[in-house]
Chain A
Amino acid sequence: MIRLLTTTALCLCLFSCQQESQVDRATREGILLLGNTNDPKSFDPQVTSGVLESNINRALFEGLVVFHPSDDLAAPSGVAFEVTPDETSTVWTAKLRPDAKWSDGRQVTAEDFAFSYQRLLTPELGAKYAEMLYFIEGAEAFNKGEAKDFSSVGINVVDPQTFTITLRGPTPFFKEILKHYTWNPVPKHKVLEYGSIAQRGNDWSKPENLVGNGPFRIKSFRRNDHIEVERNPHYWDAKNVTLNGIRFLPISNTFTESRMFRDGQLHVSDSVAPEIVDYMKKHNPSVLRQERYLGTDFYRFNTTRKPLDNILVRRALSMAIDRKALCDNVFRGSTPAYGITPPMGDYDPPHGAAFDPEQAKKLIAEAGFPGGKGFPRLKLLIASKETAATMATAIQAMWREHLGVEVEIENKEWTAYLLAIQTLDYDIAGAGWIGDFIDPLTFLEIWSPGNGNNNTGWDNPEFVAELEKSFKVTDPAERYEFLRAAEAILLKEAPIAPIGWRGRNYLVHPSVQGWYPLLLAGNPYNSIRLVPQEPERK
């Protein structure tokens, strides 16, 4: 019996022995194998809002400007060869490339862009990310149904290759915003062929019908298995695209993903579990990438509940968090945060949050709880994810040690956790935020009262006033001053306690060339090359 089993197993092994790993074969064929966590919610760039969808959209569609392969703040031209502001950075003129084509060979026109923005803003479409276009004059009113006529929105088609975008105020950083996929065009002729402008579930975005203007087009799609894209022969810069295709693999489990990478089934992984980072550092450091990412981990305080309505209590709690210890031991790759906005370009956030146990003790005493005496037992809400639990346990211990404050960790399943946060049904909660574009605004405007992502009950008119001021100036340095002032108010009042600026741990196979660290991880596929390495055993 045992002999039979062994023989069968051996035969199977021999039978299945492959000479070449999937990565080696894909490298030879010019196909990039990418871990991409999950299937997209849709291929329609105007109804999705996630990172994994943006990774696919970047292959299938192209905006007016695109990501630079290595420079976060550069904005190379995309389907527009020129996007120029007027002297106040309020009216921007886009001139499209005459050779820009859809993947079915039709010309990409200014009319396509006007149609796309109208579609995204039409309330009936119910686009979750419509507010990305609120920078356009009149867009918010149109999207909220207050204005019915799209001509009230600041989009003006000048000729088939030119259109202007009038913004609600000076926006010197507009090119950064344009990189976001909500600003990509959709093909008017295809959308209308399969339905009306604002019809959801319009069949134009089914993989077999989809037409885009990006460097690639869909080749095959199998749910929960893969999405493969191939070169789009009609792409204006097709001659400079070196990859023949990309295969997106929806691997949701990061341990499975790491195993598949080590087995030669992936060129680039989406992430590596913190537990695996040390192993990779020791055994295969050359493939491990640890880079900064445009995200912040922080704790929310529910300012509508006692005693968290007291600034002193919130500041004391924030000051008693040893951020460095957490980043070194729990996150692997994050940096201790002193502001909510990670440093980017010329913006350095004010130093408003730091570990200072002595000061924290004083503040909590001043708030009426000397040594934590009389402090109610609050609940610390987290979502059931491994790192969140480790971090919560560590912070629970820090608060006990430095303040004498006891909190109880409450672990909820993801959707229940989100619901509790959004209905302010919590005391203190773990949270994270990822920026949409490289500008401090994406981290600051969420703290305005009434913003759907504020979720702390915090409302401060001075903060709003500083933000408003920043909307009116054109000089970038002056603008940053206002934003920094706003952030200083936020950190002083401490409705949140910033903990770490996110790092991104992931794996890149040595055959992948031209994959540089980018804050938004929006690596353009056009500039990636696959160079065969010494063949691996397998």
Chain B
Amino acid sequence: MLKLLASRFLQGLLTLFVLVTLTFFLVRMMPGSPYTEEKAIPAHILERIKAYTGMDKPLPVQYGRYIKNLVVHQDLGDLIRKDGVKVSEVIGDSFPVSMALGLASMGIALLVGIPAGVVAAVKKNSPTDFACLAFAMVGICLPSFVIGPLLAVFAGLKLQSLNVGGWSSPTDWILPAITLGLINAAYLARLARGGMLDVLSQDYIRTAKAKGVPGQKIIIRHALRGGLIPAVAFIGPAFAGMISGSFVIETIFQIPGMGQHFVNAATDREFFLIQGLVLFYGFLIVGANLLADLAQIALNPRLR
């Protein structure tokens, strides 16, 4: 057991190491550099700036230095375009916002998606089913950059009730969380409906019905467990995606989350920020997988 755990942990470390190394070299293969600006920086100035950030050294030296700082000092480095700002500060400031928004969206997705899917499956081919399916189809087909502004215009400008952007008032999470949540709710509803339909046609459900178990009890006690497996499998990766932020949602609603950094760091060639974000995201995924492994081992004796 301990051996297995140690091996998984080491595999995780190796994955992160490969990730860091690949990212380090890949970002430096992009055309341009963090110093490519609209007004060209004079050559003699550029030389000094590069020297200051250590970017004038050969690539292997830069890599060695980066790994050393990472391992010895747990230092992800500084931003190149912004003076005196640490990558860890950027992640530390923005991750809690994305996390809060992600949790709220996940809550909405679960509360709306699962019941809608279950109800649709139980009332198969009824108007309720069609309504739920239509809702799910719309949610899947409409991208967030359409739903977001529509919600903002409706709730913010027409109803005059919520702020259309910003992250200052306690209600500012509502519109972005609904936007992000509804899209995932749509997927969840379809998965839950499909899973439930499968289970509801099984023999043991028929047996339960024949034995006279009340309908609600059949669904809650017997069908839900098996029926929600596809939906639950979807929740894991979806949640990781939600808490690491969304560029589109953050841009539409002006939220200081982490998602925008994934895109902006790439366009700005902020090498250290890209590396830091990739490593952080990798860490989340590896950590989540490790936890999942542990949970499976705990649940399934055959794995021990």
Chain A interface residues toward B at CB < 8 A: 1, 5, 12-18, 22, 39, 41-42, 44, 47, 49, 123-128, 130-131, 143-145, 200-203, 205-206, 222-226, 249, 251-253, 255-256, 259-260, 262-263, 265, 413-416, 418-420, 422, 452-453, 455, 537-538
Contact = CB atoms under 8 A, between A and B. Distances in A.
B152 A259 contact: yes
A205 B163 CA distance: 33
Nearest to A413: B267
Contact of A263 (B31, B37, B45, B164): B164
B157 interface: yes
B83 A263 contact: no
A442 B112 CA distance: 59
A42 B49 CA distance: 14
B82 A415 contact: no
A416 B81 CA distance: 17
A159 B242 CA distance: 61
Interface in B16-53: 30-33, 36-46, 48-49, 51-52
Nearest to A432: B38
Contact of B254 (A39, A143, A251, A419): A251
Contacts of A419: 31-32, 36
A230 B153 CA distance: 32
B156 A263 contact: yes
B121 to A, nearest CB: 14
B260 interface: yes
B83 A41 contact: yes
A16 B174 contact: yes
Given A251-B254, A415-B269, A201 B157 contact: no
A416 B29 CA distance: 12
6 contacts: A1-B116, A128-B41, A201-B52, A415-B33, A415-B267, A419-B36
Contacts of B165: 251, 256, 259-260, 263, 265
A265 B40 contact: no
Contact of A223 (B45, B90, B116): B90
A130 B45 contact: yes
Contacts of A201: 52, 78, 83-84
B31 A1 contact: no
Contact of B163 (A265, A413, A414): A265
B171 interface: yes
B163 A262 contact: no
Contacts of A18: 169
Contacts of A130: 42, 45
B278 to A, nearest CB: 18
Contacts, number: 156
Contact of A225 (B31, B45, B84, B167): B167
Interface in B215-271: 251-254, 256, 260, 267-269
Contacts of A22: 163
B42 A452 contact: yes
Given A41-B83, A225-B256, A260-B254, A422 B45 contact: no
B162 interface: yes
B161 interface: yes
Given A224-B94, A260-B166, A39 B82 contact: yes
A1 B256 contact: no
Contacts of B39: 49, 128, 452-453
Nearest to B43: A452
Interface residues of B, number: 60
Contact of A47 (B83, B94, B256): B83
A118 B49 CA distance: 17
B84 A222 contact: no
A453 B256 contact: no
Given A126-B46, A126-B48, A416-B32, 20 more contacts: A13-B155, A14-B161, A16-B171, A44-B83, A124-B48, A200-B49, A200-B83, A205-B84, A222-B256, A223-B256, A224-B256, A265-B163, A265-B166, A415-B32, A419-B31, A419-B36, A420-B31, A422-B40, A452-B43, A453-B39
Given A251-B254, A422-B40, A223 B163 contact: no
Contacts of A205: 83-84
Contacts of B40: 422, 452-453, 455
Given A265-B166, A419-B31, A1 B160 contact: no
B93 interface: yes
B251 A223 contact: no
Contacts of A44: 83
Contacts of A455: 40
B153 A259 contact: yes
Nearest to A22: B163
A145 B30 CA distance: 32
Contacts of B41: 128, 452
B32 A256 contact: no
B97 to A, nearest CB: 9
Nearest to A38: B264
Interface string B48-85: 11011000000000000000000000000010011110
A537 B157 CA distance: 11
B119 A1 contact: yes
B38 A418 contact: yes
Contacts of B12: none
A418 to B, nearest CB: 5
Given A223-B90, A259-B165, A253 B252 contact: yes
Given A453-B39, A453-B40, A538 B160 contact: yes
A533 to B, nearest CB: 16
Contacts of B162: 13, 16
Interface string B109-127: 0001001100100000000
Nearest to A251: B254
Contacts of A206: 84
A225 B254 CA distance: 8
Interface in B118-167: 119, 149, 152-153, 155-157, 159-167
Given A131-B42, A259-B165, A418-B38, A5 B112 contact: yes
